[in-house]
Each structure stands twice: as C-alpha cells, then as structure tokens.
Amino acid sequence: MNNRRFLVTATAVAVVLAGIGYLSFRQAYSSGAPQPPARPVRTLGAPLPGAPAITEPRADGHLVSGADVHMESAPMPAREDGRKVEHVCTEWEIWSVEPAERVWHSPCVDGPQLVHAHLGDGEFENSFAARRDLAADREYDLRVRYRDDTKDKAKRWSPWGYRAFRTLPQRAPLAGAGTWHVRQDGYRVEEVAGGFQLPVHLAMAPGHTGDPDKPMFYVTELYGQIKVVRGDLRTGVYAKNLLNFDPRGTFPGTGEKGVTGIVVDPNNGDVLASVLYERGGLHYPKVVRFSSRDGGLTASKQTTLLDMPAEPQSAAHQISQLTIGPDGKLYVHMGDAMLAYTAKDLNSFRGKILRVNLDGSAPADNPFYDAEDGITARDYVYASGFRNPFGGAWRADGSYYQVENGTAIDRLSRVDKGVDYGWDGTRDSMLKPKLYIWSPSTAPTSIAFVDPDVHHGSGFPKSKHGHMFVAESGPTFATGPQDNGKRIVEFTFDGGKVGKPKTLLEYNGTGKATVVGLAAGPDGLYFTALYPDADTAAPDTPNAKIYRVRHTGAE
C-alpha cells in the first residue's frame, strides 16, 4: 500500500469512528492492516453533541494507575430540543486497545456514581475477568454515556463520550531496602502494632507520660471500630459495632465508607470520632463523643455531638478528619459527597470545614453565624469550597492547614476563617487559594507537625522542628511501590510559603499497603498502613499494621 492510499484509508476510518464515537484510532486497524505509529494521538475530533464531557482522565494519553482509575464526567448537558429530563444513570466502559475488547463494564450506575466512578463500581470481563485491576503500561479507551428518563427507548441514551488513557508501568521493589524504604539518613521504620482492619486515622492521647497501662493513641477502623494502643503497645478494642449498616464493598469504590476521623478531648480524655450512619438507604454524617470509666481503655457511653441528617454522603467524599484547635473548638472536615455544587453552598454542611463547640453547638463567632432563623449548616461553616479535605493539622503558630484530594491534582492550603476555597467541579478551581499543588495527584490524606512543645518534637532533631509531614496514600489499592504516592513527604516553611516536598519514606513491599493516617507521637511519627502487606489478602483482612518513624540520633 503506497503512502497516499494509506492516508486516504486512515482518514476514512477516522470519519467512521467519529460517528460511532467509542473506539480509538488504533482499533480501526485489523491485525493484517498497516499499523499507525505507536501511541497515536486521538484523531476523532470533538465529541458528538449531547455526549458526556469526560473530565478525568483529564486528557487523551493521561497516565493513570491501573489499580485505581478515577473516572469523572461533567453533569448531563441539556437536550438539543430544550426539554428538561432527569439523569437516571450512567454507563461506563473501559476497552483495551490491543486486543480491542471491552475489559470492564458498569451498565447503569446511579447515585453519586452518575458522574464519578471507580473500578469497584463495575465488573471486569472477557480476558480480564479474573483481574481486579488493569494491566500496567497499556493503552485503553474509556467510554461514557448517560441515560435520561425519556420514555422512548431509542432516544433515552446519549452518544458516547470517550477518553484515551494509558496505565503506568509497574515499579519493582528496591532490593534490600525493606518493606518501607527510608529516604533520609538517620531514621528507621518500626512496626508498632498489628491486627488492624482498614486503619484510617490515629490520634495521640494528650499528656501521655509513657505509662505502659495508659492509652497512648487511638485508631479508627473504617468498618466500625476504634482501637486503643497503650504505652507498652498492647492493643485493645475501645469501641465496636459503630455502624448500623454493612459497609463492605469493592475497593476502590463503594467499600470506602464508615468510621474515619478521630481526636481526643484534652479536657477529659473523651474520644470524638466521625461516622456515617444509614437511614432510608442513604448514609449521613455525624460526630460522636465516647466517654470511659476505666481511664480511656474502653468506651462506656456514646452520645451524638453533631448530626447532619439532611446531608447524605457517599464513599470516599465523606466526613473525615477531626481536630481541636488552640481555641478549644472542634474542626470537622466534610467532603462534597461527589456533588461539587454543595462545596460553595453555605446552606450545606458538605464541602466545608466546620467549627463546632465541644458540646456540639455552633460558636457565635463563626464567620456566617446568624441564629435569627434557627441554627442551620451556615452557622457551623468556618471555610467553604472544598472537594475532599481528607486531612488537617495545627502548626505551633496557631495556623491551620488541610490537604485535599482533587481531580488529577491535589491541594495543600492554609485554612482561614470565612474563605471560599473555590471548588466548583473544575480542575482550575483547585488552583487557588493554595500553598502547593500536587500534579499529578498523589492523594494526600494526613498532616503532622514536629513541634518542640508537643512530645519534645517527637524525638526529631531541631532541624526538623516546625516542619510539616504529609501522608500521600497514592493509588491506594495498587500493588507495590508507586511513583505517585504511598509515602510520607516533608515540607519546610519560608515565611508564608512552603518548599518542594522531600520524601522521608516510601512503600517498597509487594503488597498493597499504603500510608493514610499520620500523627506526631512521643518517640516519632506514627502512621497507619491501610491494607495488609500482601497482594493476595482482601483489603479488609485484619492484618494491617501501625508503624512509626524514629530518629536514630545520627543524620
């Protein structure tokens, strides 16, 4: 075939595919036909009118983890005839390019997954039927279409939207570096405790003196427990059966919900936790206070501190971190429930950081407090415009910081009273206000500061005092080391700016463990490894561990 004939044939094929709207340019060629250049740029042109606009993967050729493909699309566009219709469900598909076959499918997903899906929301099929992730270092096409409530079956589905993407190569563990590879001299990683099921956040007990029989820290387990670890590292159950629904589901996806944030009241040792509960088939957020009669080893009483019964949330984008500020107020992080419009709506709890009195009431000095018409969500709002502010922490100077999972990028920002942080569903809305942007995303989940006035700086040298450490969970359900996360990084401060992150340690095992919770303890930085360190284990197998990073006395 001469070059001119090849170009004419290729152009004709591209035109046909633009009408079909679902296969990549490479898929047009049979095994015996001439092949285009490797990794071609998609040439299908603009999507058909009415087709979903895919926002993540954000561009053709975007590199993503094969274990955690975030699929997002814009809200359903209006019909060309102007008739108002309801978005009933969304069909998601992933096709491999070579060979050309559908490898994953989610036929008609409703709820929050209308415009935001994970691999756990569908099923692998054909040659991928036995898999739970996409093969590494390969090309794929994502296809998305919307169904509305039109009675005519032939007209209820939109055209397909499409996005070409490629999976990242699989990194091999570094030989001889251990399960956790320390990247800075003078530090080592030690296992503290085991037997945890999906450990999310951990909170140190204020004023711990090293007594082996007293609580040193508490850990939330996603599926309904809080555990306590004593000074001698013995582990016990502090509270259990905290969920009134079965939280189990797929990972990544519907299984990521339950008990998340935790903090200890310094006034009395009570434990405060953030929890989802079910009513009428929906999940709602609340903050619960737990009291103890045996010195904090087991909870004897629980009371709801703050209930948000009109604010349903979903897996992942839910209520998360809790902290108590130097003003003695409780700060509550709220995800947007995968509904971006809630983040800027002051009449919604979602997409906010709330400020709450320790008895659950709204502080009268909150920026939008107005009790004339009764207490509502706006009376609790401290700052708005967040997508998924998973972690936060206080610096010694009284400033507050949060890390937020975004779409293809993530954000670190200082949280100031009354500020709108802008999340409106678009990538660019995550860019301001910010101190640092992770691009590509590394899924930051927790912050800890090394403070000389708290636990004597956790045993870290003076050169680390005032530094911020951030847990990057990365593609959490991916196997082995990852370029985009599964590590702890360090930020330095220069006035109102932060430097580029420097890696302290990173996962180097062969399983799925990753860093999620992070806290400064009396003898190092403590962190939770969300999953067991075994690729064959189910994510909720109770074999996950807590570790600490200790300074060895030499740098």
The answer to whether 273 touches 236, Cβ cutoff 8 Å, is no
More confident residue, 218 or 39: 218
The two three-digit tokens of residue 304, written as one number: 């709801």
- Statement: residue 37 has pLDDT above 70: no
Do 3-167 and 180-551 fold alike per CATH?
Answer: no
Give 305's pLDDT tier (boundaries 50, 70, 90). very high
The pLDDT assigned to 111 comes to 80
Instruction: Given CATH 2.60.40.10, say whether it is the number of domain 3-167.
Output: yes
Q: Which of 34, 41, 42 is nearest to 2 (CA)?
A: 34
pLDDT tens for 172-184 read 999 999 999 999 9
Q: Residue 452: its pLDDT value, please?
A: 94
pTM of structure: 0.89
Amino acid 219: pLDDT: 98
Q: Nearest 5°: CA angle at 471, between 468 and 473?
A: 160
Q: What is the pLDDT of residue 12?
A: 39
**Angstrom distance (rounded) from CA 311 to CA 72:** 22
Is the CATH code 2.120.10.30 the one for domain 180-551? yes
* pLDDT for residue 302 is more than 90: yes
pLDDT at 81: 67
Task: Tell me the one-letter amino acid at 8.
Answer: V
Mean pLDDT score of the chain, rounded to an integer? 89
- Name the residue with higher pLDDT: 535 or 429: 429
DSSP 8-state symbol, 269 = -
How large is the average pLDDT for residues 133-162?
Answer: 93
Whole-number pLDDT of residue 315: 78
Q: What confidence category does residue 155 fall into, taking pLDDT thresholds of 50, 70 and 90?
A: confident
Q: What angle do CA 330, 350, 527 make, to 5 degrees?
A: 55
Distance CA 272, CA 303 (A): 10
Among 158-162, 329-333, 547-551, where is mean pLDDT lowest? 158-162
Mean pLDDT of 234-247: 97
Contact 379, 373 (CB under 8 A): no
pLDDT bin (cut points 50, 70, 90) of residue 80 is: low
Boundaries of every domain in the chain: 3-167, 180-551
